């Protein structure tokens, strides 16, 4: 399978695509520019907000309002802090993150500039505060949960793996970390991730120009993307049967053609509605 261009948005570091059914748009972020965008499936993109600080991810509350993962924690688009995290160092920011099936926000930290090994953590945020789930993280990236919320899949990019944890609905704890799949080094580095209705994980490959699907630890499909720095996939459309993929151009002095644009592919399987934040975030 091969993805085709959806919109030539020219992002520096496009990330975090998220389908919002109320407006039939894919929300996404340009991380280092601190921008939140909305893109319809006709390819029309609009700037929603510029926050003036890096935005690693976005999430929706139950009303469809957008919240952003910033270096300070989770904020609204006016910069009001909703939930903070105790940063271990001044040069950290939030990277990828998502609501869990029970309304918490789970997201990781990394350094602002060149990644520093083990500097970040994976955090869980809710109305009662913040909880560190994993320490010693370098580039916290893709997250997904199984259909019943008992397993958390997660990526720390330099490990070259997707790991899986036992996940507790009541407490949000993540324990019994183990390898779900190892990505071959020549395929690229695992970045963002989403899960389909059949339990297949779709993993973006930074430097690999592709999104790969894994089920039960086995490679089952590949979607080629015509630019190397593939960052994150999501499911979009009324039936959630279109895979929309963000990309980046940030690592190149002369960006490759198509770097930073957004692509789409029909893949023959549907996704699931993105989870939303609980009432604590409103």
Catalytic residues: 191
Q: Of 80, 151, 153, whose CA–CA distance to 122 is shortest? A: 153
Tokens encoding 13: 């570091």
Q: What is the CA radius of gyration of the chain?
A: 17
Task: Name 114's Cβ contacts closer than 8 Å, sequence gap at least 6.
Answer: none
Question: Residue 273: phi, psi to the nearest 5?
Answer: -60, 135
Q: Is the distance from CB of 164 to CB of 235 less than 8 angstroms? A: no
- Tally Cβ neighbours within 10 Å of residue 32: 18
Q: Starting at the earlier edge strand, list the strands of the sheet with 242-247.
A: 4-7, 262-266, 242-247, 230-236
């Amino acid at each position: 399978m091969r993805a085709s261009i959806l919109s030539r948005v020219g992002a520096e570091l496009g990330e975090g695509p998220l389908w919002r059914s109320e407006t039939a748009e894919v929300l996404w972020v340009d991380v280092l520019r601190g921008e939140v965008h909305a893109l319809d499936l006709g390819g029309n993109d609009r700037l929603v907000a510029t926050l003036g600080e890096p935005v690693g991810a976005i999430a929706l509350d139950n009303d469809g309002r957008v919240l952003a993962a910033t270096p300070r924690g989770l904020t609204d688009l006016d910069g009001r802090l909703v939930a903070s995290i105790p940063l271990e160092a001044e040069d950290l920011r939030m990277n990828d993150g998502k609501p869990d099936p029970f309304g918490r926000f789970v997201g990781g930290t990394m350094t602002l500039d060149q990644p520093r090994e083990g500097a970040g953590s994976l955090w869980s945020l809710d109305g009662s505060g913040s909880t560190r789930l994993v320490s010693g993280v370098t580039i916290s990236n893709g997250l997904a949960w199984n259909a019943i919320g008992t397993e958390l899949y997660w990526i720390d990019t330099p490990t070259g793996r997707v790991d899986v944890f036992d996940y507790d609905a009541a407490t949000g704890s993540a324990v019994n970390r183990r390898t779900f799949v190892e990505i071959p080094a020549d395929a690229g580095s695992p970045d963002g991730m989403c899960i389909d209705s059949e339990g297949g994980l779709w993993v973006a490959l930074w430097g690999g120009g592709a999104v790969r699907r894994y089920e039960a630890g086995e490679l089952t499909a590949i979607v080629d993307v015509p630019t190397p720095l593939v960052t994150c996939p999501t499911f979009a459309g009324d039936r959630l049967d279109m895979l929309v993929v963000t990309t980046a151009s940030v690592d190149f002095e002369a960006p490759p053609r198509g770097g930073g644009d957004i692509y789409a592919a029909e893949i023959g399987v549907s996704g699931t509605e993105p989870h939303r934040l609980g009432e604590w975030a409103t």
